[in-house]
Amino acid sequence: MSDEKYFKNITPRERAIFEGAITMGALFHQFVGTPVSLESVDSLENAIKTSLELQPCIMHVDVEINREILKDTENEYHYLSLTGDMLDVRVVSEYDGIKIIVRMEYVEDLNYPLMYVEEVD
């Protein structure tokens, strides 16, 4: 069964943006709070990438967790909980030939991990 009837009221460009944005929301609400350490950071980046690439229309995901924050805030337990300011993520979404890059990065001027549409092809 096709899902096209549920999206007939939006353009392919809007659908590509929608899918990228949904994926970014899933990232934030599924992974923020996950315990992470310098020893586990590579596997967590890979787990995030692999799971997000399963979402509809998602062609590629790049995930980078800021290791400097992990180093700077090391504690006696040797791990932290993942926070939005630690993430730099690009999600490439494509629908019907329209490619969108949605980005999440910590923007220092805003003091906030901002999600936005970085590029539309």
pLDDT in tens, the chain (121 residues): 588 889 999 999 999 999 999 999 999 999 999 999 999 999 999 999 999 999 999 999 999 999 999 988 777 888 999 999 999 999 999 999 999 999 999 999 999 999 999 999 8
Residue 1 in domain: no
Structural domain includes residue 54: yes
> Is residue 92 assigned to a domain?
yes
In the chain, how many domains are there? 1
Instruction: Give all strands (DSSP E) within the chain, no chain letters.
Output: 35-36, 58-65, 80-81, 87-95, 98-107, 112-120
**Residue 94 covered by a domain:** yes
Instruction: Check residue 1 and give its pLDDT.
Output: 57
Backbone angles phi, psi at 54, to 5 degrees: -80, -20
Tally the C-alpha atoms within 13 A of residue 66's C-alpha that lie toward its C-beta: 17
Task: Determine the pLDDT at residue 78.
Answer: 83
Does some domain include residue 44?
A: yes
Q: Where are the alpha helices (DSSP H) in 2-58?
A: 12-31, 41-52
Predicted pLDDT at 34: 97
CA atoms within 13 A on the CB side of 100: 23
Domain coverage including residue 116: 10-120
Residue 15, domain CATH? 3.30.1300.20
The reported pTM is 0.91
Residue 26 lies in a domain: yes
